[in-house]
Structure 1
Amino acid sequence: MAPSSRKERAAEARASTSKPSPAPAPAPAVQVQRRPVGGGRWTSRRISFYASRAFFLLIILQIPLFRVPCRAGTCTTPIQVTSSQLVSNEIFPPSVVKALLFPGAIASNLTKSMTFPRWNDLFDIYNLTEAKTASAVIDLQRLEILAGSYFCAAGALVGVINPGRMTLFGTLLVIWGLVKEALFGKPVNSDPTQSVHVYPTILIALICAFLSITYNVKKTVRNSQSVSITKPLQSSAKSKLK
């Protein structure tokens, strides 16, 4: 009986080794949740995008920001100040100046009389027909407002593609020119139409110009870290030379 029992045990051992081992249980699948880049958050780039567009609408639709005497009589927007200079100096063709004035003329006519302005009547509407013969002393007395209007108009157009600091610089120049006119200017003019006046909308323009600038926080942090690392190396090098 002993040999048969040994054979049975050997057969059982062979059968147990020939059976396939059970496959291990599959590991649970790891679900990766992807967060949308900047989705739902007011990042610096998004704020700059909307602020530059709002500043563009303020300038191109000629929302009154101030009231100052100019070659065209009285100007209330940077576009009007810039257009009076472009017409008087003949820097650009009249069609370019009319293209700058046309959106604001449409908005003004639609809000006042629900009419559409004519292209050929734009210079008559803004009193630019006699801007060439007007005295340049009026604008030379307010160089800050003139230069700021140039920067505001150019920055609004360029800011649609690439927002920058030009709009903020121009707005600050205009505000400084108005403050300078109020503090160090001549006595108040008796004619209210010829006096300098500031509208509250200029604060909206200043806020939009400030928010249109993008700030790269990561780049600033990297620059500060690199500066802090290089300073000990410079000091150690000097100590070795000593």
Structure 2
Amino acid sequence: MASSSTAWATNISSIASRIYFLLIILQIPLFRVPCRSGMCTTPLEVTSSQLIASEVFPAVVVKALFYPGACANQLVKNMTIPRWDDLLNIYNISSVKDASPVIDLQRLEVLAGSYFSVAGALVGLLRPGRMSMFGTLLVIWGLVKEGILGKPINTDPARAVYVYPTMLIALVCAFSCIKYDVKKIVRSNTNRPIAKPLESSSKSKLT
């Protein structure tokens, strides 16, 4: 029974991690928030705009991350495949170096959560873990803080934050990526030592 439960938990986490990866890499809109490139709707857009602005990774790495989602979006819209050289212009990322970094600093939770979400989606293909869950929760907290608490203050309705229903799917997948090892739990319970009475207490009862 323990082996079947372990296999069930492993299958659930593997399927959830693959769905979460597709949500991230295909750039399914999860939210809408102001960023350096304008309005970002996916964790990959937030992460990539920051990577290009800080020049942490070369542009070819960012293009490689963008290309699957860009192809999927263009095929759905007009049945065309975008050119490799036009990727940064399509997402308005080529000019993010000139944008003010204050936009990202005001939304550190969304920025950090996007980093964790993208990294968790990539790592989750090899080994599902908690990184996707932490990233998704950070993004949600950043959006809730701005949408409900009004921090930072936004007076432009066109740049107001918005959460798409697909965020719920990402949240469920992120929690399902955590693999609970039922076999270890059963072993720890069976191998737990039974408390024995002290010798002094047993001798006192006999006397």
How much has 1:224 moved relative to structure 2?
3.5
Of 88, 91, 104 in structure 2, the residue corresponding to residue 126 of structure 1 is: 91
Partner residue in 2 for 1:221: 186
Partner residue in 1 for 2:205: none
1:43-88 deviations in Å (ceiling 9; x for gaps): 1111111111000000000000000000001100000000000000
Alignment of 1:37-76 (within 5 A): 43-76=8-41
Q: Which amino acid aligns with 1:55?
A: Y
Q: Which has the larger displacement, 52-61 or 209-218?
A: 209-218
* Separation in structure 1 between the aligned mates of residue 199 and residue 140 of structure 2, nearest angstrom: 50
- Cα 1:90–1:237 change in 2 (3 A) is farther
Of 166, 172, 175 in structure 2, the residue corresponding to residue 210 of structure 1 is: 175
* Separation in structure 2 between the aligned mates of residue 188 and residue 140 of structure 1, nearest angstrom: 15
Q: Which amino acid aligns with 1:236?
A: L
- Give the SS at the match of 2:198: helix
* Separation in structure 2 between the aligned mates of residue 92 and residue 238 of structure 1, nearest angstrom: 67
How much has 1:187 moved relative to structure 2?
5.1
Matched, 1:84 2:31: no
Partner residue in 2 for 1:150: 115
Percent of pairs identical after alignment?
Answer: 59
Matched, 1:178 2:143: yes
Of 121, 129, 135 in structure 2, the residue corresponding to residue 164 of structure 1 is: 129
Of 188, 195, 208 in structure 1, the residue corresponding to residue 160 of structure 2 is: 195
TM-score (norm 2): 0.89
Aligned length: 198
1:135-187 deviations in Å (ceiling 9; x for gaps): 11111111110000000000000101111111111111111111111122255
* Separation in structure 2 between the aligned mates of residue 129 and residue 92 of structure 1, nearest angstrom: 14
Gaps of 5+ in 1: 1-36
* Separation in structure 2 between the aligned mates of residue 120 and residue 111 of structure 1, nearest angstrom: 20
Gaps of 5+ in 2: 203-207
Q: Of the two, which has the highest radius of gyration?
A: 1
Q: Is the 8 A contact 2:9 2:179 kept in 1?
A: yes
Partner residue in 2 for 1:236: 198
* Separation in structure 2 between the aligned mates of residue 237 and residue 146 of structure 1, nearest angstrom: 60
- Cα 1:69–1:224 change in 2 (3 A) is same
* Separation in structure 2 between the aligned mates of residue 236 and residue 114 of structure 1, nearest angstrom: 78
- Give the SS at the match of 2:13: helix
* Separation in structure 2 between the aligned mates of residue 208 and residue 112 of structure 1, nearest angstrom: 27
* Separation in structure 2 between the aligned mates of residue 98 and residue 190 of structure 1, nearest angstrom: 31
